[in-house]
């Protein structure tokens, strides 16, 4: 699905708002009632089980009418299964915590009194939410909080589906649910207590990590001492008791939080404006921060940017070959998800990765690349954050820096134990802060002798070799960044050429079948998946340079819309020219 698509003949999609365990959420415009709504669908194509679950969510949530519970208006079964929900221009609490860290007890109490009231209304309808956590609480800048995502809730009276399966999110799971007992009202209260604990202490009571390890700690029910909860400490201690029958009810929690917040009253939700302009995605930093990258104040926002953005700053990126891309990764921000480490060997020289140990078999890889906008055809205005199509194992966004540059951020891990887009939002906040402080710092360590970082990639193919592809203009090479990658596009719709540098472990062979490139070894690989083309990998091992743990590769791809193998002869011919032009 893309921006502009119409769902059910009525709802026009605007922006992908985020992804969680229940599915993808979009903002959309209701053409019939002229209002903005939120649409949610499963990650994969909906089968009958998905449709039944989503209809159950709608039926369940429709039973609850409370100012602090997100309302569900409708369902759409055409094409995919969609829920039509109230649109609230707000961040989820987990994004707020990722951006700002632990919150003051007074603010946490104000959030808690609203969610406890919504939860009391849920329980009054004999409904158990089953997944109360920061990611399912929306918080506006003026303090309104709403409970959302009834995707795994059970309408106990109607369905009788209490089967003892563990559901919810491990870090906020009650001890009895972690032990395999059915979720109930008291486990919802525990999860709310764990959520408020995380908000005020900066970490959930059972920590983060591999799900089975978190659940093991949850089963023991050992809560660390609270150090920052202040007046919330006694109530949170009761909500987090190991024995379910000793916890207060949601309504009792609401009443006691009301005593803490005093005369403060929650604000009322404002109706969604019918404005139609496409807007940047909202960031954890808040919806009222103005997006102005080029003025040194780049941030996300949820409303239209200033009508007259400041003039571009020529010094923001500076010399491409000395710019420190790794400075865009703020490890301090990412540390809340696990131990992060910088890795500069994962790809091109315009790329840097933060590998975060989250307790899984492999780390979460947060990759940042600085690119020229023309190399990827990046649209949008300075300050805009663009959502890229991605699977559940990846979250991919692009920050438009100015008229020339963009920063692409990709967060990846197969079968992740946490929401990758939450990690990516935190990473992007670090990117924005670095750019706002500008200019980008310089590399502390120069590239080693013999590195391809010193070689202009655009010079490896000459006009004669490029002329063998009709429509390619040798004089119109597109620099990706630092002249470490070069692209030639076909002006008549034929195949294009992408030549770039990569890094590879010295002891491992590159992918592909070994071929001779005029005395240089090369490895030919027919592309699979969405890419139509053929790639040749050329290892660069200059004889006069001492061996290192990694070697540089020249990666040359010829791609178009014909069968992949058709491009291999031309790719191999061009790779032979590029290999001959490499320094010895």
pLDDT tens digits, 183-235:
889 999 999 999 999 999 999 999 887 888 888 888 888 889 999 999 999 99
Structural domain count of the chain: 4
- Alpha carbon distance 246, 84 (integer Å): 38
CA angle 319, 323, 329 (to 5 degrees): 155
- Alpha carbon distance 119, 113 (integer Å): 10
> Is residue 391 a part of any domain in this protein?
yes
| Spatial contact of 94 and 111, defined as CB atoms under 8 Å apart | no
Task: Look over the chain and give the mean of its residue pLDDT values, rounded to a whole number.
Answer: 82
- Alpha carbon distance 367, 488 (integer Å): 25
Q: Return the pLDDT at 208.
A: 80
- Residue 292 above 60 pLDDT? no
Can you give the residue range of the structural domain that contains 506?
A: 452-580
Q: Same domain, yes or no, for 96 and 230?
A: yes
Q: Same domain, yes or no, for 82 and 114?
A: no
- Residue 486 above 90 pLDDT? yes
- Residue 82 above 50 pLDDT? yes
Q: Same domain, yes or no, for 526 and 540?
A: yes
> Is residue 287 a part of any domain in this protein?
no
Q: What is the average per-residue pLDDT within 135-142?
A: 90
Q: Same domain, yes or no, for 400 and 475?
A: no
- Alpha carbon distance 121, 115 (integer Å): 10
Q: Count Cβ atoms within 10 A of the Cβ of residue 213 and give its class: 0-12 exposed, 13-18 middle, 19 or more buried.
A: middle
Domain CATH code at residue 164: 1.10.510.10
pLDDT: which is higher, 361 or 293: 361
CB burial of 85-100 (b: ≥16 within 10 Å; e: otherwise) equals: bbbbbbbbbbbbbbbe
Q: For the chain, what percent of residues have pLDDT higher than 90?
A: 45
Q: What is the average per-residue pLDDT within 249-262?
A: 94
Last-in-domain residue among 33, 59, 86: 86
Q: With bands split at pLDDT 50, 70 and 90, how would you rate the model's confidence at 80?
A: low
Last-in-domain residue among 86, 102, 133: 86
Q: Same domain, yes or no, for 430 and 552?
A: no
> Is residue 137 a part of any domain in this protein?
yes
Q: Return the pLDDT at 308.
A: 33
The residues that bridge with 240 in the sheet, in sequence order, are: none
| Spatial contact of 499 and 460, defined as CB atoms under 8 Å apart | yes
Q: Return the pLDDT at 331.
A: 95
**What is the pTM assigned to this prediction?**
0.50
Q: How many CA atoms lie within 13 A of 63 on its CB side?
A: 23
Q: Return the pLDDT at 503.
A: 93
Q: Same domain, yes or no, for 314 and 460?
A: no
- φ and ψ at residue 262, rounded to 5 degrees: 70, -130
Q: Same domain, yes or no, for 321 and 220?
A: no
Q: Count Cβ atoms within 10 A of the Cβ of residue 253 and give its class: 0-12 exposed, 13-18 middle, 19 or more buried.
A: buried
Q: Which residues contact 198 (CB under 8 A, 6 or more apart)?
A: 97, 134, 171, 172, 204, 205
| Spatial contact of 232 and 111, defined as CB atoms under 8 Å apart | no
> Is residue 269 a part of any domain in this protein?
no
| Spatial contact of 87 and 36, defined as CB atoms under 8 Å apart | yes
Top-ranked range on mean pLDDT: pick from 142-146, 385-389, 469-473: 142-146
Strand duo 35-41 + 23-30: pairing: antiparallel
Q: What is the average per-residue pLDDT within 414-434?
A: 91
pLDDT: which is higher, 308 or 549: 549
Q: Return the pLDDT at 18.
A: 62
The residues that bridge with 397 in the sheet, in sequence order, are: 387, 409
Look at residues 277, 231, 281 and name the one whose alpha carbon lies nearest to residue 257.
Answer: 231
> Is residue 270 a part of any domain in this protein?
no
Look at residues 38, 41, 133 and name the one whose alpha carbon lies nearest to residue 89.
Answer: 38
Domain CATH code at residue 18: 3.30.200.20
- Alpha carbon distance 218, 495 (integer Å): 56
pLDDT: which is higher, 47 or 503: 503
Q: Return the pLDDT at 36.
A: 87
- Alpha carbon distance 209, 516 (integer Å): 47
Q: Same domain, yes or no, for 418 and 565?
A: no
Q: Return the pLDDT at 507.
A: 87
- Alpha carbon distance 60, 159 (integer Å): 10
Q: Which active-site residues does the annotation give?
A: 131
Q: What does the DSSP assignment read for 163-207?
A: -----S-GGG--HHHHTTPPP-HHHHHHHHHHHHHHHHHSS-TT-
> Is residue 65 a part of any domain in this protein?
yes
Q: Residues for the chain: how many in total?
A: 584
Q: What is the average per-residue pLDDT within 275-303?
A: 32
- Residue 312 above 80 pLDDT? no
pLDDT: which is higher, 211 or 427: 427
Q: Same domain, yes or no, for 106 and 253?
A: yes
Last-in-domain residue among 57, 86, 115: 86
Q: Same domain, yes or no, for 76 and 102?
A: no
> Is residue 180 a part of any domain in this protein?
yes
- Alpha carbon distance 270, 88 (integer Å): 8
Q: Return the pLDDT at 278.
A: 35
> Is residue 526 a part of any domain in this protein?
yes
Q: What does the DSSP assignment read for 340-386?
A: EEEE--SS-TTEEEEEEE-SSSS-EEEEEEEEEHHHHT--S-TT-EE
Look at residues 373, 383, 379, 380 and name the one whose alpha carbon lies nearest to residue 305.
Answer: 383
Least confident of 150-159, 433-442, 527-536: 150-159
Q: Return the pLDDT at 277.
A: 34
Q: What does the DSSP assignment read for 525-552?
A: EE--TT--EEEEEEEE--TTS---SEEE
- Residue 329 above 90 pLDDT? yes
Q: Same domain, yes or no, for 571 and 485?
A: yes
- Alpha carbon distance 210, 338 (integer Å): 11
Q: Which residues contact 244 (CB under 8 A, 6 or more apart)?
A: 174, 176, 184, 186, 187, 190
| Spatial contact of 427 and 333, defined as CB atoms under 8 Å apart | yes
Ramachandran sector of residue 361 (left: φ over 0; alpha: ψ -120 to 50; beta: rest): alpha
Q: Same domain, yes or no, for 96 and 48?
A: no
DSSP-based three-state secondary structure for 514: strand
Q: How many CB atoms lie within 10 A of CB 71?
A: 17
């Amino acid at each position: 699905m893309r921006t502009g698509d119409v769902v059910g003949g009525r709802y026009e999609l605007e922006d992908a708002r985020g992804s969680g365990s229940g599915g993808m959420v979009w903002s959309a415009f209701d053409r019939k009632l002229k209002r903005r709504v939120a649409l949610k669908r499963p990650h994969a194509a909906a089968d009958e089980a998905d449709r039944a679950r989503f209809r159950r969510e709608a039926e369940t949530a429709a039973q609850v009418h409370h100012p602090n519970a997100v309302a569900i208006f409708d369902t759409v079964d055409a094409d995919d299964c969609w829920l039509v929900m109230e649109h609230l221009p707000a961040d989820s609490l987990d994004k707020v915590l990722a951006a700002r860290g632990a919150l003051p007890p007074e603010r946490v109490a104000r959030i808690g009194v609203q969610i406890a009231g919504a939860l009391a209304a849920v329980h009054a309808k004999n409904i158990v939410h089953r997944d109360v956590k920061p990611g399912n609480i929306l918080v506006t800048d003026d303090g309104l909080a709403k409970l959302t995502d009834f995707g795994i809730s059970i309408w106990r009276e109607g369905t009788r589906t209490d089967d003892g399966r563990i559901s919810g999110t491990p870090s906020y799971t009650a001890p009895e649910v972690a032990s395999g007992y059915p979720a109930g009202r008291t486990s919802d209260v525990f999860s709310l207590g764990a959520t408020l604990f995380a908000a005020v202490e900066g970490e959930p009571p059972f920590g983060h990590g591999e799900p089975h390890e978190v659940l093991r700690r949850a089963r023991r029910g050992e809560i660390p001492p609270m150090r920052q909860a202040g007046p919330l400490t006694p109530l949170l201690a009761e909500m987090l008791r190991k024995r379910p029958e000793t916890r207060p009810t949601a309504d009792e929690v609401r009443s006691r939080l009301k005593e803490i917040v005093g005369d403060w009253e929650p604000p009322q939700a404002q109706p969604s404006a019918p404005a139609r302009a496409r807007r940047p995605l909202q960031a954890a930093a808040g919806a009222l921060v103005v997006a102005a990258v080029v003025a040194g104040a780049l941030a996300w926002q949820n409303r239209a940017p200033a009508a007259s953005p400041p003039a571009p700053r020529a010094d923001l990126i500076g010399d491409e070959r000395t710019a420190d891309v790794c400075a865009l990764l703020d490890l301090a921000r990412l540390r809340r998800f696990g131990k992060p480490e910088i890795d500069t060997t994962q790809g091109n020289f315009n790329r840097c990765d933060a590998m975060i140990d989250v307790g899984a078999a492999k780390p979460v890889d947060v990759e940042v690349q600085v690119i020229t906008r023309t190399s990827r055809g990046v649209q949008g205005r300075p300050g805009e954050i663009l959502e890229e199509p991605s699977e559940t194992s990846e979250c991919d966004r692009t920050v438009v820096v100015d008229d020339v540059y963009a920063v692409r951020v990709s967060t990846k891990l197969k079968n992740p134990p946490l929401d990758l887009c939450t990690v990516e939002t935190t990473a992007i906040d670090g990117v924005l802060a670095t750019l706002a402080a500008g200019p980008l710092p310089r590399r502390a360590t120069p590239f080693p002798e013999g590195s391809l970082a010193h070689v202009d990639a655009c010079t490896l193919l000459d006009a004669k070799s490029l002329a063998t592809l009709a429509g390619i203009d040798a004089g119109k090479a597109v620099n990706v960044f630092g002249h470490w990658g070069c692209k030639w596009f076909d002006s008549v719709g034929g195949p294009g050429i992408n030549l770039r540098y990569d890094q590879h472990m010295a002891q491992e062979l590159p992918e592909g079948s070994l071929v001779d490139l005029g005395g240089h070894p090369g490895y030919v690989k027919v592309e699979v998946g969405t890419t139509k083309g053929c790639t040749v990998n050329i290892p660069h091992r200059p004889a006069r340079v001492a061996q290192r743990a990694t070697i540089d590769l020249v990666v040359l791809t010829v791609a178009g819309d014909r069968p992949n193998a058709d491009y291999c002869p031309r790719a191999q011919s061009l790779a032979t020219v590029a290999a001959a032009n490499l320094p010895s």
